[in-house]
Structure 1
Amino acid sequence: MTYQRPDLRGRTAFVTGTTRGIGKEIALALAEAGCNVVSTGKTVDDSDTDLEGTIHETAAACEDRGVDAHAIRLDVRDTAAVRAAVDEAIETFGEVDVVVNNASAIQQAAIEDLPADRFDLLTEVNVRGTYLVSRAFLPHLRAIGGGHILTNAPPIRMDRAPGKAAYAWSKLGMTFATLSLAAELDDEPIAANAFWPVTLIETRATRYFGLGDADDWRTPAVVADTVLELLDRDPGTFSGHAVYDEDVLRAAGVEDFGRYNVTAGDPEPKAARMFDPEYERP
């Protein structure tokens, strides 16, 4: 079985956190598949920071792939800003049927070592941001007859996370909100699902926080392809799932994951074990 990316022409996606890393890769993959993109995030000018990338650069790269794109500066913690961004996206494109909650903050530390304001930041960006963006799009998704809400967060398989309690709480909170929403929408054609990589993904955050090395990483493309495949599923029948990228892509025909590896070999499932210490590949 040969793997082919699905055709998403005629659709429009609102993606949070697109300046770099996984969010940018998701936006570009959507564009490659023909999907229009609303690129959102906080960075509009990278001239005075060591972090490369802006929401406008991502939007331009999407347009280079033949779709329409629009950049909106957005702090997902801000209720009014989220509402305004959703309204602007809908006004620009008419319909937005895909919502990807990707924006996240990360910091791993023991409870004793993590200041309360950092706990607040992780909770506000990750859980509150997912909650606000998903909630803001519900009236529109109902009005257009359905759509997809996808959240970059792991399956819930743990009841403690020593050394990373605040981060784990916030990421699992994203999943909990998404799966709860799916249950609330059970009789409607609006899918709410979460997705998570089995292996660590090469991003600036992975490097900055010392999460493994190149032998442990795959490129963000493995996550982006997972998003495309989830968007190819019927929102009326596939909802309320927290899935691993490998499972989704195997079902789509991927047999060799080497295309995604940063180095030769098969990376260990360290991202899955971050939230499920007993995880083993099927």
Structure 2
Amino acid sequence: METKLTGKVAIVTGGSRGLGKAMAIELAREGADIVVAARTVESGQSRLPGTIHETVREIGKLGGKATAIRCDVTKEEDVNEMVRQVIAHFGHVDILINNAGIGMPKSFVKMTTKNWDLLMNVNLKGTFLCTKAVLPHMTE
């Protein structure tokens, strides 16, 4: 059955759990082929539940198509490699969901500079790097 996103390719960063997982599943329900990207590849890598492979399996059970790619959005080489793999596999990318993000369980006053740098690297630099790497392929 043809849907509004049939033939579209969507990258969802932070797709192993929470909002990222939910968006990946919903985009797949609408017919998009999904690239689930995150750092969490195996259970136990994080204190939080969920992996990119679990999200891919769940999408597959719903009849959707998904691929898992490990990617640390704070590392430009990881982001560029992810995009290279997407283009090699699908030939194009149509949708980018910059969902990878973290919060800090500490109050602002107790936050260390190291915590702040990590927060900024994931939440801001990661969005910048992913958009910078994907946008040229979206505008071709």
How many correspondences in the alignment? 138
Tell me, in whole angstroms, the C-alpha distance in 1 between the residues paired with 2:46 and 2:125: 26
60, 63, 76: which is aligned to 1:79?
76
Q: Which residue does 1:67 correspond to in 2?
A: 64
SS for the counterpart of 1:102 is coil
CA distance in 2, matches of 1:110, 1:52: 24
What RMSD, in angstroms, separates the aligned Cα atoms of the two structures? 1.6
Alignment partner of 1:44 is 2:36: no
- Where 2:139 maps in the other structure, the secondary structure is helix
From 116, 128, 131, the equivalent of 2:128 is: 131
Shift of the alpha carbon at 1:142? Answer: 1.3
- For the residue of structure 2 that corresponds to 1:22, the secondary structure is helix
2:85 is aligned to 88
Correspondence 1:142 to 2:134: no
The answer to whether the 8 A contact 1:34-1:66 is kept is no
Which amino acid letter does the alignment assign opposite residue 83 of structure 2?
A: V
Matches within 5 A, 1:1-282: 7-47=4-44, 50-107=47-104, 109-143=106-140
Percent identity of equivalent pairs: 38
Tell me the SS of whatever aligns to 1:83.
helix
Q: Alpha carbons of 1:47 and 1:28: their partners in 2 closer, same or farther (altered >3 Å)?
A: same
Displacement after TM superposition at 1:57 (Å) = 1.1
Other structure's SS at 1:72 match: strand
Code of the residue aligned with 2:32 in structure 1: it is C
What stretches of structure 1 of length at least 5 have no aligned partner?
1-5, 144-282
**TM-score (normalizing by structure 1):** 0.47
Higher relative contact order (CA 8 A, sep 6+): 2
